[in-house]
Chain A
Amino acid sequence: MWLFDRDLWIEIFHTLGKNMFRTFLTMLGVIFAMIILVLLLGSANGMSNGFDKIFAGTASNSLFVWGQSTSEPYKGFERGRRIRYKIEDADILKRQIPEIEVLAPRIELAGHSDIVTVYRNGRTSGSAVYGDYPEIDDITKKKLVEGRFLNQTDIDHSKKVCVIGEETYKLLFEKGEKAIGQDIRINGVYFSVVGMYKPNNNINIDGENAVFIPFTTFQKAFNSGDRMGWMAIAVEPNTQVAVVERQIKDILKAKYDIHPNDERAIGSFDMSEIFNNISAFTTVLQGFSFFVGIFTLLAGVIAISNILLITVKERTQEIGVRRALGATPKIVKRQIVLEAIVLTAFAGLVGFAISVGILSIMNSMWGSGDDFPFVNPMISIPQFIISFLLMVGLSVLIGLLPANRAVKIRPIEALREE
């Protein structure tokens, strides 16, 4: 097998090595192309990782359901009726839809998104106040800086405890003051702070100016009875959120006498939609990077071909001599093609090494992902293998051009005295 012929490789490396400058110039195009390809792909991957990190705290297959007002009259009810859920709905839904993994009911003080005045030592804050179950933390994770989140014991014993956001802390406490164990007052009821969370890079639907108290405590303290304002629902991993959303709405519509075609009565938000959009975005971005990179690479390989064409012309005499000394057209062709492959492959590796270096510098500078979504920019091994094979494949095709030119050189013309 000629591929393993040591002499052949010695001959090729010798030829390339003895013409270092030419070799280097030839490789530049592919080196840059490879750098561009890897940087583009790596950045796209970094962005994708960055988005992943942003969503890391949020269950991607989740949805939120709340009540709004009806927009259709139905069964004797007028339009504009406010839909208020009951806590039993949570159990009904969980029972009827086995795909629901977690269902965290929530109730807000003074309605959805409304602000309540919270007091402490003469300071006040206008915060959102939520009655929650600990399960909510499985759906939207809070980044606790101090203390703990609500737990089952708080629920069971209706403890007067609360978890506050960093914004609320800043409004209610002195700088550096310890919040854990302190009391805050909401609507005349005192709650002891057990935890504080700070903004994370994740999507945070609740904001940082919020107070979370146990659902059961909320019921007693604010006399909310069996009302429920809001449900955060996580569905099983392989289930379509939209399907479950449909089922939930159907059940709730039947229960609350809502017109089947009334789209406004039940508010909902499908988290997976955002995820899908963003993952589609990053996929497109990666595809685009690959596309651009491959064409840049093609340009680089064509540059190699071009320079090889020129060098073939320059080497007319050499090739003529080789032919006169007994090199068959096949040998000449093989040599030029292999030179193209070796040049491309080596240049590709050099470009790869350089760009990986650049990527790791980028990673150490911005890779934390705090400022914008950019985490661990690197190309994957399959991406590398595909681009490398593609590059070598191209170089074979493109190497044939100068090779055929070289074969066309007739020794007699090459050796003709000027």
Chain B
Amino acid sequence: MIEIKDLHKSYRMGSNSLHVLKGINFKVDDGELVAIMGSSGSGKSTLLNILGMLDGADSGEYTLDNVPIKNLSETKAAQYRNKFLGFIFQSFNLINYKSALENVALPLYYQKVPRKERQEKAMKYLDRVGLKPWATHLPSELSGGQKQRVAIARAMAAEPKVLLADEPTGALDSKTSYEVMDLIQKINDEGNTILVVTHEEDIAHMCKRIVHLKDGVIVEDKKIEQVRAEQYV
């Protein structure tokens, strides 16, 4: 599904250049649930941004679902993001003046899905994260866990190839974190490929594979025994 070869990325900070990713080689198969771990500054967010086509790499190859991702125009990147990727953010990033349902329907709007179908589909995904009764509520009327579930529903609504979660539990207490991870696990069980960036050990161990980043290189990449989040809920 995802294949990365010798990926480099550096940022220019004044006269110095900060080499963040120093040759990442990395492959994700269909249906995997991968945790990307690392302390802050290890390059994990940069990697996720490049995977999410929010940022470009300096060199190296990136293939997503057999499509080479390189030198994309803003328009093309937006279309690929819409088609291939679902984003889940630490701070949810819901549009605060849109209801839960409208938030979920937004990626479908950009896919030019007809209105009625869009509403139905959005409602279906909202139901799947257990928030159907909250469809008309604004984000400000939802709890943190509920917001993240709306965000997950939104990420899934466009039926992307890969879900990218950037610290999805970073802003949540542990109980809610486990609920969100439980949801992510269930979505993964259905065969969806998910990448989770986290620095929390317990969250990482709820994935099936942990990729450890340190100073811009992968220092460890291991499959693990998945801890089900269900038992903590």
Contact = CB atoms under 8 A, between A and B. Distances in A.
A330 B93 contact: no
A326 B115 contact: no
A318 B95 CA distance: 6
A306 B107 CA distance: 29
Contact of A15 (B81, B97, B107): B97
A329 B49 contact: no
Q: Which of A10, A19, A317, A324 has the most CB of B within 10 A?
A: A324
B81 A326 contact: yes
A325 B110 contact: yes
Contacts of A407: 74
A14 interface: yes
A322 B82 CA distance: 10
Interface stretch (B84-92, B173-181, B202-210, B225-233): B84-92
Nearest to A15: B97
Interface string B192-222: 0000000000000000000000000000000
A324 B87 contact: yes
B interface, size bucket: 20 to 34
B78 interface: yes
A329 B97 contact: no
A362 B18 CA distance: 70
A324 B54 contact: yes
B98 interface: yes
Nearest to A323: B78
A323 to B, nearest CB: 6
A177 interface: no
A18 B97 contact: yes
A19 B97 contact: yes
A411 interface: yes
Contact of A325 (B81, B91, B96, B97): B81
Interface residues of A, number: 28
B27 to A, nearest CB: 24
Interface in A334-378: none
B98 A326 contact: no
B87 A325 contact: yes
B39 interface: no
A330 B95 contact: no
A11 interface: yes
B140 to A, nearest CB: 12
Contacts of B82: 325-326
Contacts of A18: 97-98
A169 to B, nearest CB: 75
B99 to A, nearest CB: 10
B106 interface: yes
Interface of B: 49, 52, 54-55, 74-75, 78-79, 81-83, 87, 89-91, 93-98, 102, 106-107, 109-111, 115, 154, 158, 167
7 contacts: A18-B97, A318-B96, A325-B81, A326-B81, A326-B82, A328-B110, A329-B74
